[in-house]
Amino acid sequence: MEGIFLVPIDGNGILICRNLWYTFVIFVNCNSVPSKSFDFGASQTPIKTNAPLISHVDQINLDFKEKEVEKYAKEHKLGYVNLRNFPINPDALVLVSKDDAVEGRFVPIHAAGKELRFAAVDPTNAKLKEIAASYTAKGFVVQLYLISEESLSFVLRLYDKQAEKVGVKVLELNEDALESYDKEIAKMSALVEHFQSMSDVDILNAILLGSVKTHASDIHFQPEKGRVLLRYRIDGVLHQIFILPPDIYENILTNLKFSASMKLNVGYKPQDGKLNFQVTGRQIDIRMSTLPTEFGEAVVMRLLDSKKSIATFDSLGLVGRNRAVLEAALQKSEGMLLVTGPTGSGKTTTLYTVLHMLNTPDVKIITLEDPIEYHLENISQSQIRETEGYTFALGLRAILRQDPNIIMVGEIRDQETADIAVQSALTGHVMLSTVHTNSAVETIPRLLNMGVKRYLVGPALNTIVAQRLVRKACTACRKEVPLTGKIAAEMTAAMTEAKKAQPELEIPSVNHIYEAVGCPACGNTGYAGQVALFEILNVTKAFEELILAEATPREMIAQAQKDGMVTLYQDGLLKVLAGLTTIAEVMSVTSA
């Protein structure tokens, strides 16, 4: 039986209509029934009218529909559920993103071990089939149930609630929690023994809090055979915190991927996402990336503390002539300041410090960043989205139309960005950026390799800052060692060279340096905090001529030193003499 029946009751009416799957019974006000716009032939969409709906009729309506779906399911040998009466396992929902659920017109309703139950409106839906197949491929057994449209929209609403719940549950840490976790973190490895009695969310909280407590910059999850290593990067060095059982890791991973809006059912290709959590009112943004590996998805989380205070030249370790050169460079109203170094060498921190110093009410500053690590007042910061086509090059063109005085571009890594950056540096803009090179001088061939015209490189460049981060020796446990023998001779030779470059250089006169030891205060690492080593190349007229003359790197280094450049190695040894760090640290970052 298919068709529409209008049964008049007291001037209003009950509209009964049927199609293949559903029977609709809708209470309508006759005056509002449109005369000819109904077409229920194949539609599965509930009828919408302006009429007030009455609850008991509504209920009859729903019951009819459920019966129809149940009948259809029986005919097609499928299970049937009415999700209004079915307890949904909230953990099941996180297995499929809401977008996928909407597109596939289904919801995951149950997950236990490798057993999954999906409830679908249309078992032939392509997205549903694709996602079910992806789970089957991972060894899951997927059972399919039929549900009504009403059941589907009922559960889809739960998604938003679930998102809130996960968001709050996982990612808001209060003072009390901080206190209790703090004790645990003092002996993180002891935490492993409590895993069985802790919920997955508690374990994740402990991991996040631990990272904040230890001032970690990154959290790494590395799956290996039968175990997952959890490591923190603290002061640039990875420390193993503990080993997670794979089943606990699976749950943590699911929680994290859900919070970072990643596709939960995708584990076979890399994904990027963002999440954040609050620690005593401070928001920590996390940039998360996954990578499929032999034993599961590896995760790296970069912690971006938006309230972290901007460093000063002093706190960075920028002193003496280096500081004077950089400060002079900041007085110029055009040209390029490039900061170079490998990943994790503190380039961004230096650029932010520079931006902070340049940030006065009379200049317009715009940045292009990926990601925005610090939020700066009075500066327009724009987030690059390469995956959506918003590239550095595209952003840079757009920025120039915004009439800025100072531009900061997160990184120059392709010809297009390099060309526009050089052009803007030559046309009255201060251009700040970073390049991946090992030394200041290597930046010249790098720009040339990217396709920048040789005759433009010199005129566009003001200053190149190469830098590295080294760990500071822990002042609570560092050990004095006499400055004698080979080390003393090497030190004297390097300082003589440095003094040639900068005659005014003050060399600490000491008879001992320090070695790292390790104590509870520094987590037995021997180090606490970091300081940067700098190599600052001032692009003088003489240096520009060398670029034009296609000089060798050796000739360029000689000229740079003549112009006052102290090398990274020399600056490192100066910091050893000043008692800040150790020879081992300096060697580890300068002997490339």
Q: How many residues interact with Zn ion (rule CB under 5 A)?
A: 6
Q: Which is nearer to Zn ion, 474 or 539 (CB)?
A: 474
- Using CB under 5 A as the binding rule, whether residue 372 contacts Zn ion is answered as no
- Residues 154 to 193: which contact Zn ion by CB under 5 A? none
Residues in Cβ contact with 502 at an 8 Å cutoff, skipping those fewer than 6 apart: 320, 321, 564, 566
Whole-angstrom distance, CA of residue 319 vs CA of residue 313: 7
Residue with Cβ nearer Zn ion (400 or 519): 519
Q: In whole angstroms, how close is the CB of 479 to Zn ion at the nearest point?
A: 10
Q: Which is nearer to Zn ion, 394 or 519 (CB)?
A: 519
Cβ proximity to Zn ion, 292 vs 518, nearer residue: 518
What is the Cα–Cα distance from 523 to 508, expressed in whole angstroms?
A: 29
What would the two tokens of residue 140 be? 């899951």
Least CB distance from residue 476 to Zn ion, whole Å? 4
Shortest Cβ 527–Zn ion spacing (Å): 8
Among 476, 481, 493, 542, binds Zn ion (CB under 5 A): 476
Encoded one letter per residue, x for contact with Zn ion by CB under 5 A and - for no contact, window 247-266 reads --------------------
For residues 107 and 513, which CB has a smaller minimum distance to Zn ion in the complex? 513
Residue closer to Zn ion by CB (options 432, 516) is 516
Q: Which is nearer to Zn ion, 53 or 476 (CB)?
A: 476
**Which residue, 379 or 576, has its beta carbon nearer to Zn ion?**
576
567 to 441, 460, 536, 587: CA distances (angstroms) = 10, 23, 8, 13
Q: Which is nearer to Zn ion, 431 or 516 (CB)?
A: 516
Which residues, in sequence order, are bridge partners of residue 246? none
Closest by alpha carbon to 368, among 346, 389, 344, 398? 398
Query: Residue 216 burial by CB count (10 A; 0-12/13-18/19+): exposed, middle or buried?
Result: buried
Contacts of 558 (CB under 8 A, 6+ apart): none
| Shortest reach from residue 238's CB to Zn ion, in Å | 18
Using CB under 5 A, pick the residue from 109, 384, 474, 498 that binds Zn ion.
474
User: What are 14's two structure tokens?
Assistant: 């009950």
Nearest one of 423, 435, 372, 374 to 399, comparing CA atoms: 423
**DSSP bridge partners of 136:** none
DSSP annotation string for 419-475: HHHHHHHHTT-EEEEEE--SSTTTHHHHHHHTT--HHHHHHHEEEEEEEEEEEEEPT
Nearest-Å Rg of the Cα atoms of the chain is 32
Q: Which is nearer to Zn ion, 250 or 515 (CB)?
A: 515
The span of 129-137, 221-229, 469-477, 481-489 binding Zn ion (CB under 5 A) equals: 469-477
Q: What residues numbered 518-537 form the site for Zn ion, per CB under 5 A? A: 519, 521-522
Q: How far is the CB of 571 from Zn ion (least distance, A)?
A: 24
Q: Return d(Cα 318, Cα 534) in angstroms, integer.
A: 7
Residue pair 505/566 in contact (Cβ under 8 Å)? The answer is yes
Site string for Zn ion, 80-119 (x = CB under 5 A): ----------------------------------------
Listed ranges 42-50, 322-330, 511-519, 539-547: which one lies at the site for Zn ion (CB under 5 A): 511-519
Tokens of 400: 């120039």
Q: How far is the CB of 577 from Zn ion (least distance, A)?
A: 20
For residues 105 and 472, which CB has a smaller minimum distance to Zn ion in the complex? 472
As a whole number of angstroms, the distance between CA 74 and CA 11 comes to 39
Stretch touching Zn ion by CB under 5 A, among 10-18, 30-38, 286-294, 513-521: 513-521
* Omega prior to 371 cis, within 30 of 0: yes
Two structure tokens written together for 456: 């433009």
Compare residues 46 and 518 and give the one whose CB is closer to Zn ion.
Answer: 518
- Residue 192 CB, nearest approach to Zn ion (Å): 24
| Helix or strand run (H / E) with residue 178 | helix 175-186
The tokens describing 253, both together, are 């991973």
Say whether residue 477 binds Zn ion (CB under 5 A): yes
- Per CB under 5 A, the segment of 49-57, 81-89, 281-289, 472-480 that binds Zn ion is 472-480
- Residue 86 contacts by C-beta under 8 Å, 6 or more apart in sequence? 109
The span of 67-75, 211-219, 468-476, 500-508 binding Zn ion (CB under 5 A) equals 468-476
Q: Does 583 bind Zn ion (CB under 5 A)?
A: no
Residue nearest to Zn ion (CB): 474
148 contact partners, CB below 8 Å, separation of at least 6 = 22, 62, 65, 66, 68, 69, 82, 121
Contact stretch for Zn ion (CB under 5 A) within 81-89, 362-370, 407-415, 470-478: 470-478
Q: Which among 29-37, 323-331, 438-446, 474-482 is the span making contact with Zn ion, rule CB under 5 A?
A: 474-482
Binding positions for Zn ion, 36-65, rule CB under 5 A: none
d(CA 89, CA 108): 9
For 66, the 3-state DSSP assignment is helix
Q: Of the ranges 177-185, 283-291, 364-372, 466-474, which one interacts with Zn ion (CB under 5 A)?
A: 466-474
Interface ranges with Zn ion (CB under 5 A): 474, 476-477, 519, 521-522
